[in-house]
């Protein structure tokens, strides 16, 4: 892509609860069968969102 081409706008924001399912699906697709059959990364994201361990200040 050169400097004269139009680039799509990207908006960076904090994630919201309604994003969780989309993020899980995207993470699962990104890591599926990369290092081993299947993947656990999407499940880890799911578990972390349900704990008090994940601090919102760390992800913003």
**Does 12 map to a domain?**
no
Model confidence over 3-59: pLDDT tens digits? 667 777 888 887 788 988 898 898 889 988 988 888 888 888 888 887 777 666 665
Number of domains observed in the structure of the chain: 1
Residue 33 lies in a domain: yes
Q: Which residue has the tokens 């139009």?
A: 6
In a domain, 2, yes or no: no
Distance CA 22, CA 3 (A): 31
Euclidean distance between CA atoms 16 and 1, whole angstroms:
31
Range of the domain at 31: 17-59
Q: What pLDDT, on the 0 to 100 scale, is given for residue 45? A: 84
Q: Could you tell me where the beta strands, DSSP code E, fall in 1-60? A: none
Asked if residue 5 belongs to a domain, the reply is no
Model pLDDT, residue 13: 81
Contact 14, 59 (CB under 8 A): yes
Residue 36 in any domain: the answer is yes
d(C-alpha 5, C-alpha 46), whole Å = 38
Q: Is the pLDDT of residue 1 over 60?
A: no
């Amino acid at each position: 892509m050169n400097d004269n081409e139009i680039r799509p706008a990207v908006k960076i924001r904090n994630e919201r609860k309604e994003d969780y399912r989309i993020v899980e699906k995207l993470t699962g697709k990104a890591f599926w069968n990369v290092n081993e059959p299947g993947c656990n990364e999407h499940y880890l994201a799911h578990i972390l969102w349900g704990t008090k361990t994940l601090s919102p200040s760390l992800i913003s």
